[in-house]
Structure 1
Amino acid sequence: MLCNRRRPSSSTSWTGTASLSAMGRTIDADIVVRFKYDSKGTTKSEARFEKLVQSLHDVGLSVEARDGDNGSIILFVKLEEKDLVDAVYNSRVQDWLYGVCHTAPEQDAQAMLDSTVLTQAERLRIVYNLITRSPDKGGAGITPKSGDWEDVDAVLPLHDQEFNKRWLKEWSTKYFLSVEELTKIRDHYGEKIAFYFAFLQSYFTFLLLPAIVGTIAYFLFPSFSILFGVICCLWSIIFVEYWTLQEVDLAVQWKVHGVSSIQHVRPEFKPDNEREDIITGNKIKVFSPYKRLARQALQVPFALVAGFALGLLISLCFGIEIFISEVYDGPFKRILVYLPTGLLATLEPSLTGILEKFASRLTDYENYPTADSHEAAEIQKTFLFNLITGYLPVFLTAFVYIPFGPLIAPYLDVVDLLAHKYVNDPLKPIQPSMSFQIDQWRLQQEVIYFGITAQIIDQIFEVVVPYVKHKWVSHRKSQSTKFAAKKSMHIVNDPMYESAFLTRVRNEIELEEYDVNTDLREMCMQFGYLTNFSIVWPLTPLCFLINNWIELRSDAVKICYDMRRPIPHRSDTIGPWLSNLGFLTGLGSINTAALIFLFSGNNDSDAVMGRVKSWGFLATIIFSEQLYFGLRSFVRYGVLQLESKGLLQERRAQFLARKGFLDEVMKARGKRVEQTSKTISRARSNGKKRNSKVSKLAECSDSREADGSLDRRKGLEQALNMGLDIMRQQAPEVGVKRRTTAFF
């Protein structure tokens, strides 16, 4: 057996069809491809369609076509069973060659497949790779929306409605998810989606501690409690180190540990040279790492420009808000107070979208070979935008507004400032505003907003809005179909026995693609709010705990009904988000210490400003940073002392593989020894003369062995006696009795 893959329960086994329907005929398919053509029927579209069908056929895929409506054709693609066996066998052999699986493959491919379970995710992944992989790797080389395949705008598997219903029904009655339930997700949607739900489940479970402690701190501890701050910092460090270990355990259990080493080359990758792989000996295409490093250096000015632009916009809106709400006392104040919110809601998405396009182009220019490395580089660039837009308003309130509000307020009063400059003495310094009063609750209100209101808004935009949008699009499409029928325009005439199924297929294709990084980004930002600002409002962890219980289920609903079925890509980690969690943990330890130093005790503006200007503020930041590194090293050392079940399982698999190889070698050697013994026996039976010679040789050999044993015994006795004589000669003569050692 190639890999000991766990056989799933009957609820997760696959019938082999893309869709099961209680009524009507369904088309047996693995993947659906939509081809958009020119409605005028140009020869160019026909040639591209012929090329598409021929390319799919050349890699062993069967194709069936149906009308896709709105100038499109839907192709139902399936890999036949006889070709599936070879494709699965080749995939698992590759896993064994690269060390992902440690059990040697069987020689019979069909026997290997019969002794293991082929999950939905593995089958769909193999078929998808056959469609999209480059021809030199055995694929059709179809890259949707790019190059020669710009008319191919969708390649996706169809949802299994029966599985989705069972999945949501089971989760609706449970508070915690077991590894078996996560494995069901992995078998159906692939490891990348399963890792997200495993992370969310672990994060939800870990939130129980800060939620309980935070509730106690809110009612019993003083504001900005040092004890609660230390607990939150230590908790965040332990969680990150725990999840690092948990990732390895799950990757080993799901047979994907080290799978990143066999990622396929992106079609967009532009190599500048070819060389021989040191390990495999194959020719591989490479891009100079020095050229990539030079291109990556452009990230520095890009980050500075992006940070300055977003920071300037947020700071400007923040200043306008402070001026209107707390300085301005003129007409239309009740209306103008919403001006900064409107500006931010209008300008920030536009600016962020422009910067994200630049980040995407810069990532393309850096020319990464694999999809994972390209995705990680782009995530790290956009993560900078998330940090600025998510955390900067709270930082401005804590470290600018409260300490320096009275000093900044006069500069916000534009009318008074201009009058002072052009009417009064320009050399007279501007005095702090005596009427300006710091809103002591502003910091807590902002944290409460991000802890409660923002979470509710995110849930609405993630689940409700896509659902309403999908229903609206479906309604508009049905209305347009009726209008086309009245006007004798082109309408889809589906066979009655396929109509319901094809309608559902068209609706699924119209759904948006699911990006797991969007949900991981949301959880990462939430984790950052907790580690950085929960000291301001200790009920923050409790709010996140409740939100994440809902998030687990709402994300499942979103995947099942509001998004296309994801391609089951393999992964052995949550990607760069793990390093981002570590960064937020370190930032949180510094920020928590700074907030405690500034606001514990008397937190009026003058007192806080005095603490900011003191050396104690800088010393607190430096001390908290060093304390963080010390605690992280201590926790990491402690976690490493724990026996990782995954690593133990992997080492056991490696040992059994080597032991099996050794047993085969020893078995073969035993057969050779047995054969040699039989040959000697036959030689002895050939004559007395030969027997006597053999006996004499054996007697001589025995005597030599006996003499050698006696000589060794004599040499040992002689060496000991000589050594004892040397020691006694150096010792005083009085009271020394010589003795002789004999060995008999």
Structure 2
Amino acid sequence: MSSRETNLLINEESTPAKRYNLFLRRRLMFQKNEQSKDSIFFRDGIRQIDFVLSYVDDLRKDAEIKAERRKEFEQNLRKSGLELEIEDKRDSEDGRTYFVKIHAPWEVLVTYAEVLGIKMPIKESDVPRNEDTPLTYMLSAVKLPASVKYPHPEYFTAQFSRHRQELFLIDDPSTFFPSSARNRIVYYILSRCPFGIEDGKKRFGIERLLNSSTYLAAYPLHDGQYWKPSEPPSPINERYILHQNWARFSFFYKEQPLDLIRNYFGEKIGIYFAFLGFYTEMLFIAAVVGLACFFYGLISMQENLSSIEICDPEIGGKLIMCPLCDTLCDFWRLNSTCLASKFSHLFDNESTVFFAVFMGIWVTLFLEFWKQRQATLEYQWDLVDFEEEQQQLQLRPEFEAMCKHRKMNTVTKEMEPHMPLWNRIPWYVLSGATVTLWMTLVVACMVAVIVYRLSVFATFASFIQSEASLQPVRSFLTPQLTTALTGSCLNFIVILILNFFYEKISAWITKMEIPRTYQEYESSLTLKMFLFQFVNYYSSCFYVAFFKGKFVGYPGQYTYLFKTWRSEECDPGGCLIELTTQLTIIMTGKQICGNIKEAIFPLILNWWRRRKSRTNSEKLYSRWEQDHDLESFGHLGLFYEYLETVIQFGFVTLFVASFTLAPLLALMNNIIAIRVDAWKLTTQYRRPVAAKAHSIGVWQDILFGMAVLSVATNAFIVAFTSDIIPRVVYHYAYSINSTHPLQGYVNNSLSVFLTADFPNHTLPVDKPYFTTCRYRDYRHPPDHIDKYLHNKQFWHVLAAKMTFIILMEHIVFLFKFLLAWMIPDVPKDVVDRIKREKLMTVKILHEFELNKLREDLGVQPSELQKHVMIEANKAKQAKRTI
């Protein structure tokens, strides 16, 4: 020890107070040095850290106000029974952050476990798991070890009661409540703890303190490092087990440890991964069938008579087509679209109808089997009676703080905060107007993209066609397809930009509506976001599928957009290939951008945050500091995961008739997404507060609505966008060759126009002149009495299309209703298990009360029965006397 330190030590020991402070400082320094950086305990190494709050000294004008709020808030936390330990900023890695560590002692846990109605084990279940099936042995490669899949045995459970603690299986009080239940209890206290009175109103809740930057963060700790198991005396590191068996990409083919996910992150996150996993499993079936349909189109491509005729120099090479735009576009030969027509056959063939019907049935099976899976999880995770708890306990603190009125709850018969309807109406009006405005903006952007396509179409046509368009050239990049590619890319960029701004606005408006519960908040935000993203992502696909090429007119009488741009025409083979291109670009681009955003952004942000904070390497980089430097998952983290999945579900179902590989793309994306989500939750995000949920909520109703809508959209795509119905009509009503029924179809589907009837301003400038040209439609020729009017074949085709739509919808809906009626929402074995558990719970509770009464009376079981009979007789005699 140096002389300076010796003199300082003598001076400090001159008074008892200084000597005590020196002793305390040395003791804390010793324990700090002895403490492991992975410790999740207080300095005594006994009390486990259940929650952490962090803050920094604020040098602005409101610093004193924030300090006073923190002081009162922490005092009230101590009054509620929580134990706090504060880490000074001088001991933190960055030298500026304070950490408040919170521990919930046993009395607090048992009290609030009863308040929250948490179910705890009372006896090990005697109902065996239904795991030993032939399919189980066949799929043993994808199975996880039993110790990982089922970390705990199944129990009969009951709502915890602190007055019946002997009833529950309490081996060790420190580990009886899992860490997820502990952090849920502490957060419940934090969200309702007051911190002062401002403007005559009582202020409370950690969320309000976080919003005002009084605290920087509030989070529960992870169990330990994700790359190594914990060492004694720390509990089992479930984070490490999850990372090893769930979050690694090499385990992409393995099932998910759903029970372990639920134990660590809570039921709300667990049910999301259960849904995503089940959806991915069902996508495998759809992907296999879609891939088979794609291979059918690939094999039959060379035998497609329509493509053969288009590519034939003697047929397609001699068909002169009318210009695709005014003035700048030239006449062109049909065989210039040879490769495009072959490519179109991949997705526009006989298997398209089969696949559209199959997907209508598949989506019904998916939703019905998911109901069963959800019911099974409700039983296994003790969520059967959760709905009543949700209504009573999940009141938003912000709602309570803003309410000036109180009203009697007709169910609980208690006074509770109430917000009159007239106070919310202005915000509801603003909310509806904002959503309508942004959806209108999406439509306006789509129109702008259409104008772009129309504006540049002539340029692409002049480049690609030029003089070569009149030669027997086979070009894949037709003007329509080239414009569709660039227009789809531009549309996708616009979609991303609009999404970015709308997310901020919708969250703010929803908060201003002051929803009563968290469930109401999420439901309101879900409605806004889904309506917007439905229009944002699908509007361009709806345009190509149902509007493009349907209102073009005919040469000499074209329709014009804003009296300037001629309406877009479809390729001679139809608009299906353009719909496929649009769908592929938007769907693939969204999935790639989503995975990059979810994987790369948290990694970069965490790296930068650690780099900024690691300034004093000699100090202990503690467990709470490591978690503090991670990204926050947030209240809406799961909301955006559901939204992304539901939008993908729309791509898979609404337009699947145009792109049979959509389920395969979704399957590959989800296999990656499950591991990306698992990786970021276990390594890149702070541990979320555990929350309960018995279902996927309002998303299930949205999925059901999209499933019904998908039947209609796919029927219309096959009828009006695909070329199947016109070919069928030609085959049975107009074919002149019995050996090859589709021979001559291409020529039959093109009408004749007399070029002399072109208005002068639409004719090509300095281009070869032809007496007639062809265009895609069913109209009478120029020498007919009903010149250029729709012919009889047009009405036959239209009648066939409408008949097909009606038949397909009725057949698919009939199957949907039959399947929904035949498949019960709750499996029979689950119903039996629920009945068995209720029976056993009542029996165990009854025996417990009888034994307790016997102990209080000090009598034997047989004497107890006599005593009960005597008391019953006394009660009857007293009743007769009265």
Task: Report if TM-score (shorter chain) is over 0.5.
Answer: yes
Does 1:76 pair with 2:101? yes
1:231-254 per-position Cα deviation (integer Å, ceiling 9, x unaligned): 111010111122122212212211
1:343-388 per-position Cα deviation (integer Å, ceiling 9, x unaligned): 6566555544554445334433443211111111111111011111
Partner of 1:32: 52
Partner of 1:168: 243
Q: Which amino acid aligns with 1:312?
A: A
Partner of 1:692: none
* DSSP-derived class of the 1:441 partner: helix
Q: 1:561 aligns with which of 676, 683, 702?
A: 683
Q: 2:606 aligns with which of 463, 470, 481?
A: 470
* DSSP-derived class of the 1:214 partner: helix
Partner of 2:216: 153
1:423-455 per-position Cα deviation (integer Å, ceiling 9, x unaligned): xxxxxxx89989999776322222333454442
Structure 1 pair 613–56 and aligned structure 2 pair: CA distance change class (3 A): farther
Structure 1 pair 627–364 and aligned structure 2 pair: CA distance change class (3 A): farther
Please, what TM-score do these two structures have when normalized by structure 2?
0.62
**Separation (CA, whole Å) in 2 of partners of 1:213 and 1:435:** 28
**Separation (CA, whole Å) in 1 of partners of 2:522 and 2:450:** 33
Structure 1 pair 310–433 and aligned structure 2 pair: CA distance change class (3 A): closer
Partner of 2:836: 652
Does 1:314 pair with 2:446? yes
Contact 2:396 2:518 in 1 (8 A): yes
Contact 2:428 2:513 in 1 (8 A): yes
Structure 1 pair 130–438 and aligned structure 2 pair: CA distance change class (3 A): same
Q: Which runs of 5 or more residues in structure 2 are unaligned?
A: 1-33, 43-48, 122-155, 196-201, 227-237, 298-348, 465-478, 728-748, 750-774, 779-789, 854-860, 872-882
**Separation (CA, whole Å) in 2 of partners of 1:502 and 1:674:** 60
Does 1:580 pair with 2:702? yes
1:448-492 per-position Cα deviation (integer Å, ceiling 9, x unaligned): 3345444233222221233134324444555xx5xxxxxxxxxxx
* DSSP-derived class of the 2:689 partner: coil
Partner of 2:769: none
* DSSP-derived class of the 2:206 partner: coil
Does 1:201 pair with 2:277? yes
Q: Which amino acid aligns with 1:389?
A: N
Partner of 1:112: 168
* DSSP-derived class of the 2:657 partner: coil
Q: 2:85 aligns with which of 56, 63, 77?
A: 63
Partner of 1:674: 866
Contact 1:60 1:83 in 2 (8 A): yes
Does 1:268 pair with 2:268? no
**Separation (CA, whole Å) in 1 of partners of 2:355 and 2:366:** 16
1:668-709 per-position Cα deviation (integer Å, ceiling 9, x unaligned): 998677359999xxxxxxxxxxxxxxxxxxxxxxxxxxxxxx
Q: Per-residue deviation at 1:325?
A: 4.4
1:134-161 per-position Cα deviation (integer Å, ceiling 9, x unaligned): 559xx99333355995422321123332
Q: Per-residue deviation at 1:106?
A: 6.8
* DSSP-derived class of the 1:442 partner: helix
Partner of 1:731: none
Q: Which amino acid aligns with 1:157?
A: P
Q: Per-residue deviation at 1:280?
A: 3.4
Structure 1 pair 261–227 and aligned structure 2 pair: CA distance change class (3 A): same
Does 1:571 pair with 2:571? no
Structure 1 pair 504–513 and aligned structure 2 pair: CA distance change class (3 A): farther
Q: Which amino acid aligns with 1:316?
A: A
**Separation (CA, whole Å) in 2 of partners of 1:70 and 1:209:** 56
Q: Which amino acid aligns with 1:524?
A: V
Partner of 1:248: 375
Structure 1 pair 212–502 and aligned structure 2 pair: CA distance change class (3 A): closer
* DSSP-derived class of the 1:499 partner: coil
Q: Which amino acid aligns with 2:179?
A: Q
Partner of 2:638: 516
Contact 2:573 2:723 in 1 (8 A): no
Contact 1:531 1:588 in 2 (8 A): yes
**Separation (CA, whole Å) in 2 of partners of 1:195 and 1:459:** 21
Does 1:442 pair with 2:626? no
Q: Which amino acid aligns with 2:58?
A: D
Contact 2:654 2:709 in 1 (8 A): yes
Contact 2:387 2:694 in 1 (8 A): yes
Greater CA deviation, 206-215 or 640-649? 640-649
Larger helix percent: 1
Q: 1:130 aligns with which of 189, 204, 217?
A: 189
Greater CA deviation, 303-312 or 355-364? 355-364
Q: Per-residue deviation at 1:511?
A: 7.7
**Separation (CA, whole Å) in 2 of partners of 1:653 and 1:511:** 36
Structure 1 pair 230–65 and aligned structure 2 pair: CA distance change class (3 A): same
**Separation (CA, whole Å) in 2 of partners of 1:303 and 1:200:** 28
Does 1:539 pair with 2:671? no
Partner of 1:49: 70
Q: 2:524 aligns with which of 359, 377, 384?
A: 377
Contact 2:492 2:586 in 1 (8 A): no
Contact 1:406 1:437 in 2 (8 A): no
Q: Per-residue deviation at 1:508?
A: 2.0
**Separation (CA, whole Å) in 2 of partners of 1:433 and 1:47:** 69
Contact 1:590 1:625 in 2 (8 A): yes
How does 1:659-698 map onto structure 2 within 5 Å?
674=866
**Separation (CA, whole Å) in 2 of partners of 1:129 and 1:301:** 35
**Separation (CA, whole Å) in 1 of partners of 2:678 and 2:352:** 37
Does 1:225 pair with 2:352? yes
Partner of 2:309: none
Contact 1:168 1:553 in 2 (8 A): no
Contact 2:549 2:567 in 1 (8 A): no
Q: Per-residue deviation at 1:298?
A: 6.4
Q: Which amino acid aligns with 2:542?
A: F
Structure 1 pair 606–104 and aligned structure 2 pair: CA distance change class (3 A): same
Contact 2:294 2:660 in 1 (8 A): yes
Partner of 2:874: none
Structure 1 pair 31–509 and aligned structure 2 pair: CA distance change class (3 A): farther
**Separation (CA, whole Å) in 1 of partners of 2:508 and 2:87:** 36
Greater CA deviation, 656-665 or 58-67? 656-665
Q: Per-residue deviation at 1:265?
A: 1.1
Q: Per-residue deviation at 1:600?
A: 3.9
1:580-632 per-position Cα deviation (integer Å, ceiling 9, x unaligned): 11111111111111111121425888459968993555565555555555433
Q: Per-residue deviation at 1:174?
A: 4.4
**Separation (CA, whole Å) in 2 of partners of 1:286 and 1:621:** 50
Partner of 2:325: none
Q: Per-residue deviation at 1:111?
A: 6.2
**Separation (CA, whole Å) in 2 of partners of 1:542 and 1:366:** 41
* DSSP-derived class of the 1:109 partner: helix
Q: Quote the sequence identity (%).
A: 19
Structure 1 pair 183–72 and aligned structure 2 pair: CA distance change class (3 A): same
Q: Which amino acid aligns with 1:247?
A: Q
**Separation (CA, whole Å) in 1 of partners of 2:490 and 2:429:** 33
Q: Per-residue deviation at 1:201?
A: 1.1
Q: Per-residue deviation at 1:126?
A: 0.9
Contact 2:192 2:204 in 1 (8 A): yes
Contact 2:602 2:684 in 1 (8 A): yes
Partner of 1:710: none
Contact 1:228 1:535 in 2 (8 A): yes
How does 1:612-631 map onto structure 2 within 5 Å?
614=798, 617=801, 621=805, 624-627=808-811, 629-631=813-815
Q: Per-residue deviation at 1:494?
A: 7.8
How does 1:417-432 map onto structure 2 within 5 Å?
417=564
Structure 1 pair 178–509 and aligned structure 2 pair: CA distance change class (3 A): closer
**Separation (CA, whole Å) in 2 of partners of 1:586 and 1:468:** 42
* DSSP-derived class of the 1:231 partner: helix
Q: 1:282 aligns with which of 414, 417, 431?
A: 414
How many matched pairs? 628
Contact 2:210 2:216 in 1 (8 A): no
**Separation (CA, whole Å) in 2 of partners of 1:433 and 1:104:** 69
Q: Which amino acid aligns with 2:163?
A: Q
Q: Which runs of 5 or more residues in structure 1 are unaligned?
A: 1-19, 419-429, 482-492, 680-744
Does 1:394 pair with 2:541? yes
The alignment yields a C-alpha RMSD, in angstroms, of 4.5
